[in-house]
Amino acid sequence: MHEGHRQRLWEKLKQGDNLFEHELLEILLFNAYPRKNVNPVAHALLQRFSSINEVINADLDELMLVEGVGENVALYLKCIGECMRLKNNCSSFAVIKNNAEFRQFASARLAGRRTEALEFYLLDKGGDVKRICTFTDGDPESVVVRPEEVVKLISVYRPHGVYMAHNHVDCPCSPSVADDDMTKKVQMICSLNNVRFYDHCIFAPDGYYSYFMTNRLDEIAREFSVSNLFKNDL
């Protein structure tokens, strides 16, 4: 009987039919209860918490007050809630329409930090920041990011464009030789993967430095690009 009921719910989901909230919760509970009739548990959870959203965001102790919900099931539901929060947090951090908006966004994240950090902001075609990847060594004065780590980010997330930013804790915002070197490597990686590299900004107590605004990025892009690489080989 239970298997037939489960199959009917799976078919409704597969066909795109409208499902009641308790039916959706039952489907979520199928993995937690491989053979048990989960209908009473789903109804009991919704009676106590009123919605699926409240169920998956409830405290463990509260979940375990519901009859039939043990620690493993409560942890399973909490895990679903954490996954949903992660999805919501990563779906879109901001919409960046131009370099000025990027500087404002990145400054709010990096300015005033007491340890140096480097961040990559991965954008889709519409300018939505879909992923922020932060690197920090815990060192107040430096952070090292290997080129292969940047290659991995580009390969995994396939962004349309990339912004890069980092902070200087106790020194001016003017770029160091290492900053220039990193910018050149990121530019080449982006060029090889057909990804736009919009800017690299450095934030410090004395202000900020933008490779884009100083035209340094254009100079670097002309030298460190796929087209120039092939031209030099001819």
User: What Cα–Cα distance (Å) separates residue 170 from each residue in 137, 144, 179, 206?
Assistant: 16, 17, 15, 9
Instruction: List per-residue pLDDT tens for the chain, 234 residues long.
Output: 456 788 888 888 778 777 788 888 888 888 888 878 888 999 999 989 888 888 888 888 899 999 889 999 999 998 888 777 655 544 456 788 899 999 999 998 888 788 899 999 999 998 888 888 888 876 667 788 899 999 999 998 999 999 999 999 889 999 999 999 999 999 999 999 999 999 999 999 999 999 999 999 999 999 998 877 666 554
Mind listing the domains of the chain with CATH numbers?
2-90 (1.10.150.20), 99-233 (3.40.140.10)
pLDDT in tens, 132-141: 888 887 666 7
Can you give the pLDDT at residue 177? 94
Residue-level pLDDT at 100: 92
Q: Which residues of 13-47 are buried (b: 16+ CB within 10 A; e: fewer)?
A: eeeeeeeeebbebbbbbeebeeeeebbebbebbbe
Percentages (nearest 5) of helix, strand, coil residues in the chain: 50, 15, 35
How many residues belong to the chain?
234
- Strand, coil or helix: what is 116? coil
Query: What pLDDT does residue 144 have?
Result: 85
CB distance 117 to 136 below 8 Å: yes
What is the strand order of the sheet 161-167 is part of?
129-135, 118-123, 161-167, 196-204, 207-210
Contact 132, 106 (CB under 8 A): no
For residue 167, the cross-strand partners are 203
Question: What is the C-alpha to C-alpha distance for residues 164 and 53, in angstroms, rounded to an integer?
Answer: 36
Determine the pLDDT at residue 89: 47
pLDDT score, position 81: 82
Q: What is the pLDDT of residues 99-125, one digit of tens each?
A: 999 999 999 888 878 889 999 999 999
